[in-house]
Structure formats: structure tokens, C-alpha cells
Chain A
Amino acid sequence: MSNDMTTGVIYTETVVHAAPAEFVADAPYQLAIVSLDSGGRLTARITGERVKIGDKVELVEERAGVSFFRGVEP
């Protein structure tokens, strides 16, 4: 356990095909709940390759209050 809020593990995920009006242009997009290494969980978007439960991820950027994570090569 570290205090780093920029890394974590995928707790669960989905790929959204039917998006709400605001995000229709983004679909399909992957959404996940990340268990942060610093403790607690965060609902975030995934960029790049699709990830699955148990995969390690790292923060890429924050945009409009949303955290974007990507998978970390093992």
C-alpha cells in the first residue's frame, strides 16, 4: 500500500455501448471502478487497450473532473 492515488487495480469494468446524451460521441467506451493503491475506490474511464478485473492501471490524465486510467504492462 502506498499513498499514490495514481495507481490501482481494476475492481470491475464494463464497456458502455448505449451512452447518455452527453457522451454519445464517445461510445463505446470502457468504464471501471479502480481500487486505488492508496485505498478507496474511484469510478474512472479507461483509455487505450481494454482492461479486465485484477489488471494494474495507472492514471494518464484528469479531464473535466474525470480520471482516465490505462493498463500497465506486467
Chain B
Amino acid sequence: MGIGKTAFGAFPDRTLRSLAVEAGEKCMQDAGVSPSQIEAFYLGNFAGPAFVGQNHLAPYIAGSLGLTGVPCTRFEAACASGGSAFFHAVSSVAAGLNDIVLVAGVEKMTSQSTPKVTEILAGAGDMAGEGRAGATFPALFAMIARRHMYQYGTTREHLAAVAVKNHANGAKNPLAHMRKVITMEQALAGKMISEPLTVFDCSLISDGAAAVVIVPLERASEFTDQPVRILGIAQTSDYVALDAKADITTFWAVREAAEKAYKMAHVSARDIEFAEVHDCFTIAEIVATEDLGFIKKGEGGPYVFEGRTRLRAERPVNASGGLKAKGHPVGATGVGQICDVALQIRGEAGELQLDRHSIGLAQNLGGSGATAVITVLGSI
């Protein structure tokens, strides 16, 4: 397996294609494969057509990577577009259809104004229902937060603890969009976006790309001395509209995907040493730690507030800084998480390197829980 990422951030001079090409080339170099060896290209991208006006993105990018001739397909599953592309790439290799496959995720968001980005992102929800009523993505997660607070006593301080932790980690990540430590006071006093979520509860609008090369296990030694193994993977789905879900304080799709991925990997939640979870909003990380079985339902707030998921604690969550600090170029996120987990497993995470890093998990969430992709990675 090879990995490659661009920095995440606001890059007014960079095009969507150039970001994807940079990540793809870094990744092929890391894997020691040439473009002519790649048998298929899977691209995760949420809204390239709306953000930059370009359709037919997979062959568009593949052409610049020297991959012409092979099947090139774009996957769209909102914020889980990258994870979904990865899941389908893994499926094709597991099925024996392809051996050497390149997966990339990319999004170029900062060329649009914030209200326009908010509008495009809202398209990942039910536009005929919640969207028409004026729901934004922060609004949907704010309503999840309110209900979680009501049912379980979660507080704004618990939410802010996610932001403080992830910014502390992100400050040490050279590829993060926002490398800035914040205090609890700052997090609580942030500009209100959608009550009770402030700007510090929301991930960033970013540009960026990430890529991975996957090969069958039996061929891994041809490319690397340090292969990272995909132990388990699952993609699941649920209703798009938040008001169609019976209980919005939990993501059924995440629980279901976790169960399947754990089963495939022959592990339980207890065995996961560290995780990169989809903290598009602070509440989402709290819910994720519950849905993944790291902590009992309703106790995700105190779990992070007490520091149990910090860098040097019992089970580090979002050691990379998460979407909160790294940035959230939507289509790139799911692939970027795989890169981050793989980097830890290889022991190449620099200042952020964890002590226990032989088995890690990536959780990628689409919309307000309509798509979930969970991958368990391990050393051989």
C-alpha cells in the first residue's frame, strides 16, 4: 500500500486537478508503482461540478496522471465520497478483478463564498424537506447536539473539549489546515454558527487531496517492506433526511458498519488502539466514539472531556487533528483518514506518533449519517 496527501488548506492558486495529481503522484512514488501498472482508478469527490464547474472528473484527473485506458470512476457519497471510493476499490481487488488500484479523493471548496459553500453542502441532505426549510449542515448537527444534550446531559464544555484536543493535535501536523492551539475559553466564546455550535465546533472549508494504492496481500512484498493490511471494511447506508431517523443521537449506519468491519477483522471495539473519526462537527466525534463501541451510549461527552482520547491517553482519537484542525476537503477526507491511520501503523507519524499503533480504525460519515464507511487497518 502506498499513501500520498497534499496539505489541506485554502489554496487560491491551485486547481482541483493539480491537487489530485499531486496526491496521486506522491502516492504512486510512495508505493513504487508507475502509472502504467495501475489497473483502475477510483475517485472520491462530492461536488466538483458545483464547486468548480467540472464534470467527468475521474478520467479528467487520470489523464494528467498518465492512467489513460483503464476504468476511471467518480464516487459521490457526500462527506463519505472518499471512503466509498476506497471501499469499492478494495472490493474490486478482493474480488480478483484488479491487482493494482489507485484511489484518490479531492475537493476544491474555497473558490466559492461561505454562503454558497453552505448551500452546496446542504445538498448532501434532503433538499425537498430539511433543505427547503433552511437546514444547513451545521444546523442538522446542532439539532443532533441539542438532542444528545437533552437525553444524556452532554454539555457545551464536552463539545468544546473535542475542538481543544483536535486543535492541539493538528498544531503538530505539518499538513493540517489550521495549526493553532485553542483554549476551552476560546472554543466556548466562538462566533455562533447554529446554536449550540460555534465556529470552533465546525470543521473547516478546505482544498486538498489524498490518495492510496492498494494491492492484494500476497503481492504486497513486491512494493514495500512495511505493508499495511486492510483487516476489515464495511460501507452501510441509512435515510438521508434527519427527521426520518428514529433516534438522531446515534448513527445506525455507523453501528452497523462497525459491527461488520469488526467481524471481518476478527476484532472487537476493545482491540482498536487508535482511531481517525469523522469529526465534521464536535458532536459527531462524541457520537462516533459511542457508536464505535469505545464508550457506552451517552457517555461520549465525559469520555473526551476527561482526556481519555488525547494523544498520550488510553485510546487516541483523531491524533492527526481530525477534520476539525486538518480541514475537511469533503471528497478527500475519507481517503486522507486511511493515509493518516496507515502513517501511524508504519510508525512514520513524527511528533504525532502513537505508542500503540498496530491496529487502527478510520470512520467516514456521509451527510447526517446516510452513508458510513469503516475500515480497520493493521500491521501484518
Contacts and interface: CB of A to CB of B under 8 A. Distances in A.
Contacts of B132: 64-66
Nearest to A33: B243
Given A31-B135, A44-B133, A19 B143 contact: no
A57 to B, nearest CB: 14
B115 A21 contact: yes
B115 A24 contact: yes
B81 to A, nearest CB: 20
B150 interface: yes
Contacts of B191: 17
Interface string A1-40: 0000000000111111111111110100101110000000
A22 B120 CA distance: 11
A69 to B, nearest CB: 11
A18 B133 contact: no
A16 B136 contact: yes
Nearest to A34: B243
Interface residues of B, number: 35
A23 B135 CA distance: 10
Contacts of B150: 12, 53
Contacts of A59: none
B128 to A, nearest CB: 8
Given A41-B243, A65-B132, A33 B143 contact: yes
A43 interface: yes
Contact of A31 (B119, B134, B241): B134
B138 interface: yes
In this complex, which of B146, B244, B248 has the most chain A Cβ atoms within 10 angstroms of its Cβ? B146
B256 interface: no
Given A12-B248, A33-B143, A17 B243 contact: no
B36 interface: no
Interface in B129-184: 129-130, 132-136, 138-139, 142-144, 146-147, 150
B242 A17 contact: no
A65 to B, nearest CB: 5
B116 interface: yes
Contacts of B241: 43
Interface of A is mostly: strand
A13 B248 CA distance: 12
Contacts of A33: 143, 242-243, 248
Contacts of B353: none
Interface stretch (B84-92, B192-200, B265-273): B192-200
A14 B134 CA distance: 11
In this complex, which of B119, B134, B195 has the most chain A Cβ atoms within 10 angstroms of its Cβ? B134
Nearest to A44: B133
A20 B119 contact: yes
A12 B135 contact: no
Contacts of A64: 132
Nearest to A65: B132
B85 to A, nearest CB: 27
Nearest to A54: B150
A53 B147 contact: yes
A42 to B, nearest CB: 6
Contact of A14 (B116, B139, B243): B139
A31 B244 CA distance: 16
Interface of B: 113-116, 118-119, 122, 128-130, 132-136, 138-139, 142-144, 146-147, 150, 191-197, 241-244, 248
16 contacts: A12-B147, A16-B134, A17-B192, A17-B194, A18-B194, A24-B115, A31-B133, A31-B134, A32-B143, A33-B243, A33-B248, A41-B243, A42-B129, A43-B243, A45-B133, A45-B134
Interface of A: 11-24, 26, 29, 31-33, 41-45, 53, 64-67
The 3 A-B pairs with the shortest beta carbon distances in the complex, nearest first, are A14-B142, A20-B119, A21-B115
Given A18-B115, A41-B244, A67-B133, 17 more contacts: A12-B146, A12-B248, A13-B146, A14-B197, A15-B192, A15-B195, A16-B134, A16-B136, A17-B191, A17-B194, A19-B115, A23-B134, A31-B143, A43-B129, A43-B243, A53-B146, A66-B134
